[in-house]
């Protein structure tokens, strides 16, 4: 795992915001502007080989600012290790991040779920629409911490 983090820090020294390790798992917070490029690097570099995106989680850190983030859980079958990437949205009022569907096609439904439940828009996504909640929920995102307790 240290090798992947070292390679990231060497390749993207100005894009790494934080590295957090807990019980052998690492979470690397990156600036969103280079998210797709960082993901491509982790997938394509033969020493890291993170070819499997297992999930994308939208997170609401309310009342903190920046409020919204997405965490990308990656796995390398070749190296048998995992890493998480986290990117915070720049705008709390209109949270958005670049889509990584071009890197891992499995991001398609994961990003739709994060959009539906938390409200993060993924720019460049081929079909960003609700996936779990009914269409009449537009404007409501049930995993936001300010979601009305009585529902929509």
Residue 148 is predicted with a pLDDT of 82
Taking the C-alpha atoms of residue 92 and residue 63, their distance in angstroms, rounded to an integer, is 10
pLDDT at 2: 84
Q: Model pTM?
A: 0.94
pLDDT at 138: 80
The 3 state secondary structure assigned to 44-89 is HCCCCCCCEEEEEEEEECCCCCCCEEEEEEEEECCCCEEEEEEEEC
Per-residue pLDDT band for 151 (boundaries 50, 70, 90) equals: low
What is the rounded average pLDDT for all residues in the chain? 94
CATH superfamily, with its number, for domain 2-137: NADH:ubiquinone oxidoreductase Nqo5 subunit (3.30.460.80)
pLDDT at 60: 98
Q: What does the CA dihedral 65, 84, 94, 91 come to, rounded to 10 degrees?
A: 40
CB 55 within 8 Å of CB 108: no
pLDDT tens track for 73-132: 999 999 999 999 999 999 989 999 999 999 999 999 999 999 999 999 999 999 999 999
């Amino acid at each position: 795992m240290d090798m992947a983090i070292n390679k990231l820090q060497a390749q993207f020294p100005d894009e790494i915001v934080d590295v957090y390790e807990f019980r052998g798992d690492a979470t690397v917070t990156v600036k969103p502007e280079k998210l797709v490029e960082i993901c491509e690097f982790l997938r394509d570099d033969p020493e890291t080989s993170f070819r499997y995106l297992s999930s994308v989680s939208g997170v609401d850190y309310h009342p903190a600012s920046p409020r919204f983030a997405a965490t990308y859980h990656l796995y390398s079958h070749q190296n048998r290790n995992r890493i998480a990437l986290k990117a915070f949205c720049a705008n709390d009022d209109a949270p958005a991040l670049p889509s990584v569907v071009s890197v891992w096609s499995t991001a398609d439904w994961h990003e739709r779920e994060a959009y539906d439940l938390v409200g993060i828009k993924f720019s460049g996504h081929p079909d960003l629409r609700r996936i779990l909640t009914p269409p009449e929920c537009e404007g409501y995102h049930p995993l936001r911490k300010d979601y009305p307790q009585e529902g929509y």
